[in-house]
Structures are given as C-alpha cells and as structure tokens.
Amino acid sequence: MKKVSQEKPLLTLIVPVYNEESSLNHFYDQTCKCTESMGVEIEFLFINDGSEDNTLEMLRQLCRRDSRVRYLSFSRNFGKEAAMYAGLQYAGGDYAAIMDADLQDPPELLPKMYDAVVAGDYDCAAARRVNRKGEGKIRSFCADCFYKIMTRLSGMNLMPGARDFQLMNRKMINAVLSLKEKSRFSKGIFEWVGFRKKWVEYENVERSSGCSKWSFGKLCRYALDGITSFSTLPLQAAFIPGMICWIAAVALLAVEISRFYVLSSDMRNWLLLFSFLMCLSGMQFFCMGIFGKYLGKTYEEVKHRPVYVMDECHLSERTEENEDEQNAK
Ligand code: UDP
Ligand code: MG
C-alpha cells in the first residue's frame, strides 16, 4: 500500500463520478502515471454522486489499494455542481484540481498547470478546449450560443471552451467556498472570485468509455441555472418594452389630439382606445420591470455573496487591532 508523506505540498484531485465503472480504473492509472514525477503529494478525492452501477464498490477497492485515495458518497444523484462543491469543502490539499473521470480533462496537463500555480505567478490554472472535435454539432452550437448569451447578460468574460478542470491554490479555494449559494454554476463562480488565472489550451479529447451523463434537458437546466445565478437582467426585461409601449401610446395620443385641434379633423375613437390600452399595458410592463429590479436586488442579497474578495493586505498595526476588535464584536 502506498503511504502519504507530509513534507511536500499536497494537491487534492477532486473527481465527481456518476456511473463511471467503465472509466474509473483507467482514469486512476493514467492520472497516477502523469503525476508521479510532479514534486507534489497527490490525494484523490472521488465524489460518488449517487451512482447506480459498481462505481462505489470500485472506489472502496481503490481505497484499499492506495492510501492516497479518499471518497465521499452521496445518498442520491445531486449533480456535478454539488459534487464539486463537496469536493472543495473536503479537500485537504494546499492546492486542488477538479477533474472529470472520463479522461476528457487530460491528466497530462496537470504538471504544467501545477507548475504555473506553484511558481506563484498565478492563483489558478484553467484548462480550455480550443475545439469541440468529436462532439455533436447541435450540442456545440447550443454551447457556443449559451456562452455568448451568458457573457452578455452577466457582464463577466466567460472564456469559450473553459472547463471545470481548474487547479487552484488554497486562497482561491477558500474564496470559491465563501460563495455558499445553493444553485451553483462553478464556471461563473471561478470567474467571479477573480485572482490571476493562466489558461492552458488543449484539443478536445473524446470520452475514454461510457457516455455523457448530461441529457439535453439537464444541459438546458444547467444553462438556465448559469444565467439566473449571474444575471438579474431577465427579471428586469419587462422594463424596456414597457417604456417603449408607453412612449408610443403617448406619441399616438399627442398626434391624434394635435390633428383634432390643428386640422380640426374628427377624433378616431378606435385610435384613442388603442393608445389608452397601449398606455395601460406599457405602464404594467414598466411596473413589472421595477418589481424585477427590487426582486433582483433581494435575490442578490439572499445569496450572501461576499462584498469583495481579498487577495493580499498589508495594514498598519492599529488598523489590524481595530479589525480584530470589530470581528470580536
Ligand atoms: N457527473 C457527476 N454527476 C452527474 C453528471 C456527471 O458527478 O450528475 C460527473 C461524471 O461522472 C464525470 C463528470 O461529472 O466525471 C463529467 O460528466 P460527463 O462526462 O458526463 O459530462 P460531459 O463531459 O459530457 O460534459
Ligand atoms: Mg465527459
């Protein structure tokens, strides 16, 4: 049995697994091979996300074979986001990397990613696919559209092709964990917390075995979760058509009234009624937009995200004392 030594820094590999009996051993062997010459201690932390196949039993066997292997097992399938969150919570390492079990996140990239972070120039090294070779055309198209819409709505620069395969230092792990929201969209969270990030590019790799656990419906829900977690704009969307409707109705009314007074032509009752109705529904939309604005603010508050994320601080002794006093209160 392999033993854990305490001298080197520890890198926790967080691996969510859901029905991965066909990929698990291959993933473990490949990752061991790719990481053996890295100057870091490795710890595997598998999160069994309610697998119905033999995955859990295989994890137990791996634990018996290798003391560096640990696992958490959920009572049912809670989704990859929940598994990643649990993984980050239970990761004991100075560094942690999130990886898929199907080898679509190539373990060969780990040494390069680790070197970038350990050198201190970056807090995170993130893998990015430069193409989607081998993936279905419709799925690629929908994914591209999603990232464009998401970037527009959230105002964050979501890198196309970015994966959850990110290696981060303890500072960034703690920042990610400080966002305790239940409906999680990690790709957005990793961007939201900031820090210096190095992008490591690679060509898409097809699944080693088995099939994707994401149905089209699951992907749509994931996309909606992403958008609603990082943008309240859809809530306020009624504001603009409301304004347009209202302005158009007032303009129509003004034209009709001037026709009546200047050209002495008859009032067209249907137009008066039409602009009155338009004005009314415009006001309703406008009010919905305002409700949306308040609801959006309430939504932001209940997420309890930190107001800021600290990277470094250098304070005078007196300020530090004051801070300690405030914290004590
Ligand atoms: N996964 C999970 N829970 C789920 C779906 C997926 O833990 O509900 C895991 C899965 O076992 C794999 C990773 O998340 O290790 C990525 O899943 P998959 O390969 O199916 O996603 P894709 O690569 O098709 O986006
Ligand atoms: Mg995959």
pLDDT by residue (tens digit) across 180-190?
Answer: 999 999 999 99
Amino acid making up residue 236: Q
**What would the two tokens of residue 275 be?**
């602009």
Q: Is the CB of 105 under 6 A from ligand 1?
A: no
SS3 26: helix
Res 133 pLDDT > 60: yes
Proportion of the chain above pLDDT 90, given as a percent: 64
Q: Is the CB of 20 under 6 A from ligand 1?
A: yes
CB atoms within 10 A of CB 31: 22
Taking the centre of ligand 1 as the mean of its atom positions, its distance from the CA of residue 55, in whole angstroms, is 13
SS3 168: strand
More confident call, 32 vs 219: 32
| pLDDT confidence of residue 155 | 85
Res 140 pLDDT > 90: no
SS3 3: coil
Res 35 pLDDT > 80: yes
Taking the centre of ligand 2 as the mean of its atom positions, its distance from the CA of residue 270, in whole angstroms, is 60
Dist. CA 82–CA 76, nearest whole Å: 11
Res 143 pLDDT > 60: yes
Q: Is the CB of 200 under 6 A from ligand 1?
A: no
**Contact present, 12 and 96 (Cβ < 8 Å):** yes
Q: Is the CB of 79 under 6 A from ligand 1?
A: yes
Q: What is the DSSP letter of 119?
A: T
End-to-end CA distance of the chain: 49
Ligand 1 atom with least separation from CA of 79: 8
Helices (H) and strands (E) in the chain, counts: 12, 7
Q: What is the pTM of this model?
A: 0.87
Of 27-36, 272-281, 314-323, least confident by mean pLDDT is: 314-323
Res 329 pLDDT > 70: no
Q: Is the CB of 73 under 6 A from ligand 1?
A: no
Taking the centre of ligand 1 as the mean of its atom positions, its distance from the CA of residue 77, in whole angstroms, is 11
- pLDDT confidence band for 6 (50 / 70 / 90): low
For residues 75-93, average pLDDT: 97
Task: For residue 176, give every residue at least 6 positions away whose Cβ sits within 8 Å of its Cβ, in sequence order, or none.
Answer: 88, 168, 186, 189, 190, 193
**Contact present, 73 and 1 (Cβ < 8 Å):** no
- pLDDT confidence band for 3 (50 / 70 / 90): very low
**Average pLDDT of the residues of the chain:** 91
Of 23-32, 136-145, 192-201, least confident by mean pLDDT is: 136-145
Of 11-15, 117-121, 235-239, least confident by mean pLDDT is: 235-239
Quote the strand ranges of 93-230, DSSP E.
Answer: 95-98, 124-129, 162-169, 197-202
Res 273 pLDDT > 50: yes
**What would the two tokens of residue 9 be?**
């820094």
Dist. CA 73–CA 62, nearest whole Å: 14
Of 70-74, 114-118, 209-213, 219-223, least confident by mean pLDDT is: 209-213
Taking the centre of ligand 2 as the mean of its atom positions, its distance from the CA of residue 209, in whole angstroms, is 9
Ligand 1 atom with least separation from CA of 104: 23
**Hey, whose CA ends up nearest to atom 12 of ligand 1?**
100
For residues 263-286, average pLDDT: 89
Q: Which of 4, 54, 62 is nearest to 29 (CA)?
A: 62
Taking the centre of ligand 2 as the mean of its atom positions, its distance from the CA of residue 224, in whole angstroms, is 20
* 239-262 vs 269-302: helix crossing angle, rounded to 10: 160
Taking the centre of ligand 1 as the mean of its atom positions, its distance from the CA of residue 211, in whole angstroms, is 9
Ligand minimally distant from the alpha carbon of residue 163: 1
C-alpha 203: how far from its chain's center?
22
